[in-house]
Structure 1
């Protein structure tokens, strides 16, 4: 054999070795890709499971809090009504005594006592009257202007002239705006 033939044969052998190595590397890479895909699919399945469990837990939480909110509103009303029952009893007794008694001063004193009792119960529950005086600045957060009339003096323009209906707050939240007349 000549040197040329030997070189060609060596090149063919090297080419075959390189091809075999490349095929083995390709198979190794395919196995790595397959194992990475399997790991990714397993992680995806785990994440889906966590997501489904979290959504179910949130839905249960939402239902539970809605139920608790309904129960709370029922019991809050029950507490207030139980506090008002003695006042209602006193009003019934006052009505009966009005039918039987002709003494106006005694009736007024009895009604005054019942009124103070009612006022005390409402104040304990957080109800407060919005204090307003003639000449106070109009505040749309606390007052509702019913009408405007010509101001008796220039210093009352844009200010409260008269209070038609008292306003109330419950735990510092306005539950009824004071109805007022404003000077124009």
Structure 2
């Protein structure tokens, strides 16, 4: 009877230990699962916390916007300066072109004056008329020169210049040193500043 009771108590202790071990193992498994879940949650939180670090701070954003606005201002200022220079140049060219047309129209009047003066010089009794014509002629030349219109003078004996002169014919040169040079001027040439407004019509030696 005692042996049977002793055996029953031993079995009960073993079963109790086994049950406790099983409970402890289950508790450890739960703890492991909770630890894994916590680690995953922490990793997610760290990733979430690290993301804002990649974004620009407010100060950096303001600096970037300020730099962008500055570049836009410089581009607009440069474009405006180019526009202002271009319009100023166009305005000056327009004024110059308008005066050029008027001055070119006056050149034939100067030619007529010169022909009239030559005719009056041949008339022995026209000294007073010649004096009046020369006075008006010289006054007209001064006005034209003040506007920038100048005649090409002293061309005879100089080498032919295709940039300023137009050869209407060639004749045998009176001497070797006159070959390729201006022998006679049929019609005067005129310049407005540095621009040729009428080419001189010349005869050159060959």
Q: TM-score range by the shorter chain?
A: 0.5 to 0.7
Describe the shift of the 1:71–1:151 C-alpha distance in structure 2 as closer, same or farther (beyond 3 A): closer
Shift of 1:136: 0.8
TM-score by length of 2: 0.52
Distance 2:158 2:79 in 1: 55
Matching of residues 1-184 of structure 1 within 5 Å: 1=24, 5=29, 9-26=34-51, 28=52, 32=55, 61=84, 65=88, 69=92, 72=95, 104-184=126-206
Describe the shift of the 1:55–1:154 C-alpha distance in structure 2 as closer, same or farther (beyond 3 A): closer
TM-score by length of 1: 0.56
Distance 2:156 2:62 in 1: 78
RMSD, aligned α-carbons: 4.9
Distance 2:190 2:140 in 1: 15
Shift of 1:112: 2.0
For this pair of structures, how many residues does the alignment match?
159
Shift of 1:7: 5.7
Distance 1:56 1:138 in 2: 46
Shift of 1:147: 2.4
Aligned partners of 1:132 and 1:163 also within 8 Å: no
Distance 1:71 1:179 in 2: 28
Unaligned 5+ segments in structure 2 are 1-23, 107-112, 114-124
Describe the shift of the 1:163–1:67 C-alpha distance in structure 2 as closer, same or farther (beyond 3 A): closer
Q: Stretches of 4+ moved more than 3 A in 1?
A: 4-12, 33-36, 38-77
Describe the shift of the 1:166–1:48 C-alpha distance in structure 2 as closer, same or farther (beyond 3 A): same
Structure 1 residues 47-86: Cα deviation after superposition (integer angstroms, max 9, x where no partner): 8985997699679858975895599569969xx9xxx9xx
The structure whose Rg is larger is: 2
Shift of 1:149: 2.8
